[in-house]
Amino acid sequence: MTILDELAEYARYRTSKAKEKVSLSALKEMALSLPKGSYEFEKALKKEGDMAFICECKKASPSKGMIAEDFPYLQIAKDYEMAGADCISVLTEPRWFLGSDEYLREIAENVSIPCIRKDFTVDEYMIYEAKVLGAKAVLLICSILSGDEIKRYIEICDNLGMSALVEAHDKEEIGTAIECGARIIGVNNRNLKDFSVNTENSRKLRSLIPDDVIYVSESGIRDAKDIKALREAGVNAVLIGEALMKAADKRQMLSRLKG
């Protein structure tokens, strides 16, 4: 099993345990009782003539281990907002990323920019959870979902007024994402099977994405030089985690990345 397989398997286990406490029907009722969203996440990424920045709150990762021993997640999120981030990505995966649903709930309640729940969505239950926690978007990863699942999960998101960031790693997965009606496609520059990173992946695959689809480059973006190359390639948005999490002054770092 690759680490991605393990992450997906553990997400299924977590979901089965969550269902023992709150049933799918009860959670769905809670989510649908909330005001329907207005696709705030994808609207925030549509910046005419400019690149949007999704900034990540992440304590640890499988590839790097502990990234932020000291993790004042709420202050980090507020710093991102003040620095001009367009959206915030919040890790909720607890084992490898040391994330928490509570991080998402608190951040979503205390910032005015939209949050995406960064987790390994393997069940519709997790989408309703994300809605109840205050997220405006969820991550759907082509490598762990079938085309039928992606289509169904996008439909559930639409029913809730949420966005789906559909993550692909290669030409075939991009084809699947487009076929499934993805409005936001992210290319992860980190191969989750062996953790190698190559931002050339985002540039190489750009031509495959239709103009009306928001294109996001994820992972491995370290400096303004990387941003410049991605901007020139026509990337609409970037998701940045480690470079910001390791910076002592996150506001200054984001300002530098924005050029």
Choosing from 61, 89, 188, 236, the catalytic residue is 188
Instruction: Give the Cα-Cα-Cα angle 183, 125, 187 (nearest 5 degrees).
Output: 35
Report the 3 state secondary structure along the chain.
Answer: CCHHHHHHHHHHHHHHHHHHHCCHHHHHHHHHHCCCCCCHHHHHHCCCCCCEEEEEECCEECCCEECCCCCCHHHHHHHHHHHCCCEEEEECCCCCCCCCHHHHHHHHHHCCCCEEEECCCCCHHHHHHHHHHCCCEEEEEHHHCCHHHHHHHHHHHHHHCCEEEEEECCHHHHHHHHHCCCCEEEEECECCCCCCECCHHHHHHHHHCCCCCEEEEECCCCCHHHHHHHHHCCCCEEEECHHHHCCCCHHHHHHHHHC
Q: Which of 129, 167, 173, 242 is catalytic?
A: 167
Instruction: Say whether 188 is catalytic.
Output: yes
- Active-site residue, 219 included: yes
Q: Could you confirm whether 102 is annotated as catalytic?
A: no
* 58 tagged catalytic: yes
The CA-atom distances, in angstroms, between 125 and each of 12, 43, 221 are 10, 25, 32
Instruction: Indicate which residue of 28, 58, 131, 250 is catalytic.
Output: 58
Given the residues 61, 89, 217, 219, select the one marked as catalytic: 219
Residue of 42, 93, 218, 242 with catalytic role: 218
Q: Which of 118, 131, 136, 250 is catalytic?
A: 118
Q: Strands 184-188 and 214-218: what pairing?
A: parallel
Task: For residue 189, indicate whether it is catalytic.
Answer: no
Active site residue 78: no
Active site residue 64: no
Residues annotated catalytic, as ranges: 56, 58, 118, 167, 188, 218-219
